[in-house]
């Protein structure tokens, strides 16, 4: 007796969920189909009933998580400087870095820098643009509300978004590669402080925020 369509849909969702968890934590290259199916508690052969390749699965996983990411939810959240600075604090928190990543475009940026695969580079660009758009949207809105120490200039704000995103991704990528915990933490703390200052947070408030982590 054949399985109902709902069974096939749920099976695919299990594979996607397992793949997303592993890809977010380890990146594309370090994850195998066998590992994905083991986490999903399914046989290796069942994979090809749903996906043509690991690349196809990764593509669908990333596209889905971009839409459902915390970055996307941030745009719909409270319009305040505090809400935006919490994002910076999250990404530059050593404990957050070492914990299992919640799936989102940021995980692609942290894990796939320098990939030579064309498919991965395309997804990297999509993830980058998603995060950049989120930052620009928040900065433009906050500058109009006079909550930021700079004018509502779209070109200038686009550049600030690029600097913030490059700083975040670069700091996390470097920290993940360093074996020494002390220097890892210093890289993240220094980056977080500079971004907070760029957003208009005072030295004292930036220090308070970082100590509260």
What confidence score (pLDDT) does residue 30 get? 92
Query: Does some domain include residue 64?
Result: no
What confidence score (pLDDT) does residue 1 get? 43
Burial of 210 (0-12, 13-18, 19+ CB in 10 A): middle
13 and 117 share one domain: no
In sequence order, the 6+-apart residues with CB closer than 8 A to the CB of 101 are: 24, 25, 107, 110
Q: What is the pTM of this model?
A: 0.76
Which stretches in the chain have pLDDT values below 50? 1, 100-101
Query: Does some domain include residue 58?
Result: no
Question: How many beta carbons lie within 10 A of that of residue 174, not counting itself?
Answer: 14
What confidence score (pLDDT) does residue 87 get? 67
3-state secondary structure of 29: coil
What confidence score (pLDDT) does residue 97 get? 53
207 and 160 share one domain: yes
User: Which tens digits make up the pLDDT trace of 175-195?
Assistant: 888 999 899 889 988 998 898
47 is in which domain, residue-wise?
5-53
203 and 132 share one domain: yes
154 and 190 share one domain: yes
């Amino acid at each position: 007796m054949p399985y109902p369509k709902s069974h096939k849909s749920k099976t695919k969702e299990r594979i996607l969920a397992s793949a997303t968890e592993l890809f977010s934590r380890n990146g594309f290259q370090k994850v195998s189909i066998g590992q994905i199916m083991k986490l999903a508690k399914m046989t290796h052969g069942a994979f090809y009933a749903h996906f043509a390749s690991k690349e196809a699965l990764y593509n669908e996983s990333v596209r889905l998580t971009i839409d459902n990411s915390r970055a996307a939810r941030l745009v719909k959240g409270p319009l305040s400087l505090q809400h935006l600075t919490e994002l910076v604090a999250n990404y530059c928190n050593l404990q957050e870095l070492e914990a299992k990543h919640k799936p989102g475009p940021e995980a692609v940026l942290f894990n796939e820098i320098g990939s030579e695969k064309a498919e991965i580079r395309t997804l990297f660009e999509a993830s980058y643009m998603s995060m950049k758009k989120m930052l620009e949207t928040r900065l433009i809105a906050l500058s109009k509300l006079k909550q930021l120490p700079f004018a509502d200039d779209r070109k200038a704000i686009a550049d600030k978004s690029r600097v913030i995103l490059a700083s975040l991704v670069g700091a996390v990528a470097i920290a993940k590669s360093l074996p020494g915990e002390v220097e890892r933490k210093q890289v993240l703390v220094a980056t977080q402080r500079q971004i907070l200052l760029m957003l208009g947070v005072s030295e004292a408030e930036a220090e308070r925020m970082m100590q509260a982590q």
